[in-house]
Chains A and B, each alone.
Chain A
Amino acid sequence: MNNRNRSQSTRSASGGTIYSRIPVLRAERGMSRQELAEAVGVNYQTIGYLERGDYNPSLELAFRISEVFGLPIEAIFSREPFAPLSEQVYGRRETPSSRGSQ
């Protein structure tokens, strides 16, 4: 059983996954999971759950995270998967060949 199946209980009642940009934002700011967890007042494992989409945050936690990053909530969380950064920057889809050349 994988992580995703194991933690279904922690998702929303509708079963939908909330996708997040937390890993990218953490990397940009050189922040560890532990540091982010301390900043928002949760266990460091909870950050991992959020990043994997295994846990949907409460509105309060989402607001706290958005305050830490100084971004609106919709810039961090989405009900749809975020498009790859390369697609957003260069306006084209990432292909296997371009992925391999990186």
Chain B
Amino acid sequence: MSSFLARLLATRRGRRALAITLWACYAGVVVVRTAAVPRQVADVAMFVLIAAGFFAYTILARGLGLNRSPLEQPLDERERSERDHAHYVAFQIGNVGMLVAVIYTLVARQVPGLWMPSTPRAGLAALAAVAVAFGVLPATVLAWTLPGDAADDDEEAPAPQPLSRTPLPHRRRMLMAAGGAVFAAAAALGGTGVVPVLASRTYFLLGIAAGMWAGAIFLTRSGDRGRA
């Protein structure tokens, strides 16, 4: 990954911009799913928003050391402490969010016009939205709270190192690429109408395939425990 991203992650403003991008994509997906957008536009918009959100999250989680490979040098005790605290804060925010959601469902039952998941599909989408929100909260909290390098009064501070790709065992990368191929094949079967049940999921499957390939090719590298 580029040194531009490393410089971006080294500043508090850059990290916050990535976190805002991530949540803007999240909100965009919710809007596209719920608003009356033409199907073709919605599919493309979903693909772009999910890809952009995935990219922002990957950069944040990688740059902040949240998804560190076991092949890499572990974080030191202060860094672990900061990440533990971010998880703690995210958990507290999640608890409040769940409480608000429960109160909302109680109110929405009584008040006509308020949205409630009325079909299993809508319920599943709401559940997925909650799960994703929970998943990205720690990275967001960390991005928001970590001080920037500029705040450090160290004149000898080394320049930010370009983000390296995550070292993974070669076999795991190949599995990831193969998984991407499976999802791409499923998308092709749906898109061409060979398997009609997958037709409405073409862009979704293609998105997963793209994510897995991006992970296997651009975001990771084959590494050894000794050299990483």
Q: For residue A43, which residues in chain B have a CB less than 8 angstroms away from its CB?
A: 75-76, 78-79
Check B97 for interface membership: any CB of A closer than 8 A.
no
A-B contact pairs, 6 of them (CB 8 A): A6-B147, A6-B151, A43-B78, A44-B156, A45-B154, A48-B154
Q: Which residue of B lies closest to A50 (CB)?
A: B78
Residues of A within 8 A of B154 (CB): 33, 44-45, 48
In which size bucket is the chain A interface?
20 to 34
Chain A interface main SS type: helix
The answer to whether residues A34 and B158 also contact, given A6-B147, A7-B147, A9-B82 and a CB cut-off of 8 A, is yes
Chain B residue nearest to A35 (CB atoms) is B156
Determine if A78 is an interface residue (Cβ-Cβ < 8 Å): no
Give chain B's interface residue range (CB within 8 Å of chain A): 10 to 19
Q: Which A residues lie within 8 Å of B85 (CB)?
A: 9-10
A46 close to chain B: CB less than 8 A: yes
A69, CB-defined interface residue at 8 Å: no
List the A residue with the shortest CB-CB distance to B76.
A42
In the bound complex, how far is the Cα of B81 from the Cα of A41, in angstroms?
A: 16
List 7 tightest A-B contacts by C-beta distance, closest first.
A42-B76, A9-B85, A46-B78, A32-B156, A10-B81, A55-B78, A48-B152
Not counting A9-B81, A43-B76, a sample of 9 additional A-B residue pairs whose C-beta atoms are within 8 angstroms of each other reads: A3-B147, A6-B151, A10-B78, A10-B82, A44-B157, A44-B158, A46-B76, A46-B79, A55-B78
User: Which chain A residues lie closer than 8 Å to B153 at the CB level?
Assistant: 48, 52
List A43-69 residues whose CB lies under 8 Å from chain B: 43-46, 48-49, 52, 55, 57-58, 60-61
